Structure 1
């Protein structure tokens, strides 16, 4: 084993921007659709979308059926273009020299493909909810990652959603909430450099 430490990183809000709520707000404004109705749609499809029970194409079809004014192709382009790299993505190669890097994300691989293309060469394990068939904060997805990291005693888990952290803490992982300003990066790097 090359490293004693392992780092688990979320994608949205940690390595790349979150597309919400800006994506939904833009759809509401552009297509004159109720924001509340869009939020209800999001709630209705969220579990199936994030666990892969719903194909990406079905998500867009359902959106088009419920909101006939919305152009699904345009909406998809808007969503994908809203996901942009954050500063931590640029630090992965450096971090890889100090710890095993791992990804645990509630997402669709189709939407984060450009980010994953940069991550795959550096990460030891990548678990994306839509491929795993389970999502955070369900214990199963954390258990899968924990099994991959059984040889590591010092694990840091970084997520931008506070509700996702307790499951990691229950497994003995250190947890760190990623803030929008990126101040979490200094704390993560201090952990990486500590003996």
Structure 2
């Protein structure tokens, strides 16, 4: 019997988003969070997640854009902003019932240290900075399907509804990860039942 295919996002599903990092940057730059996020979004976000710039280029951009910051403190803040959420505790159990795949908009340099202790539960890892395209671009879902090898059905969990739409278009079953973790019960019912 073929195993189910479970595709999981990282931020907001298995680990925290980088919200604490952005709060720290806002404080360091002495600017409102909305302004910091807006400048980031307009100037560098897409290139960062798509891997079109290097991690050192991101840090250079930060120091040039926000000259008052303490770079070493921010690098430490970024590392400390990634901590596990409850979903990570289910990987071992779910791996007994499904092939687990990661599909995440992230930087490989930041996320692999977090994922390393769990790699043996994962069938594939697709990080946007490595493949050059980010969700919700349909191409990243095609890359994921090629990794999976066309085995359907696919169950996909993401914390952003706009990332679920292309997955649904490809025929994947989707679950929106909520902060109250009801999504975990849904995955349990779908995968373990």
Q: Normalised by the size of structure 1, how large is the TM-score?
A: 0.93
Post-superposition Cα deviations, 1:156-179, rounded to whole Å, max 9, x if no partner, equal: 000001100011111110000001
Task: State the number of aligned residues.
Answer: 192
Post-superposition Cα deviations, 1:116-143, rounded to whole Å, max 9, x if no partner, equal: 2023211111100000111000011000
Post-superposition Cα deviations, 1:46-85, rounded to whole Å, max 9, x if no partner, equal: 1000010010111110110011101122111101101101
Q: Compute the displacement of 1:153 (Å).
A: 2.0
Distance in structure 2 (CA, Å) of the matches to 1:36 and 1:151 = 41
> In the alignment, is the contact (CA less than 8 A) between 2:7 and 2:156 conserved in 1?
yes
Residues 27-66 of structure 1: pairs in structure 2 closer than 5 A: 27-43=25-41, 44-66=43-65
Distance in structure 2 (CA, Å) of the matches to 1:119 and 1:143 = 24
Distance in structure 2 (CA, Å) of the matches to 1:6 and 1:76 = 35
Query: Does 2:163 align with 1:164?
Result: yes
TM-align CA RMSD: 1.4
Distance in structure 2 (CA, Å) of the matches to 1:108 and 1:174 = 26
Distance in structure 2 (CA, Å) of the matches to 1:36 and 1:93 = 38
Distance in structure 2 (CA, Å) of the matches to 1:66 and 1:31 = 9
- The gaps in structure 2 that reach 5 residues or longer are none
Post-superposition Cα deviations, 1:87-120, rounded to whole Å, max 9, x if no partner, equal: 1111101100000100000001111223220232
Residues 32-181 of structure 1: pairs in structure 2 closer than 5 A: 32-43=30-41, 44-181=43-180
Q: Compute the displacement of 1:182 (Å).
A: 1.2
Distance in structure 2 (CA, Å) of the matches to 1:73 and 1:57 = 12
> In the alignment, is the contact (CA less than 8 A) between 1:10 and 1:158 conserved in 2?
yes
- The gaps in structure 1 that reach 5 residues or longer are none
4+ runs deviating over 6 angstroms: none
SS in structure 2 at match of 1:121: helix
Q: Normalised by the size of structure 2, how large is the TM-score?
A: 0.94
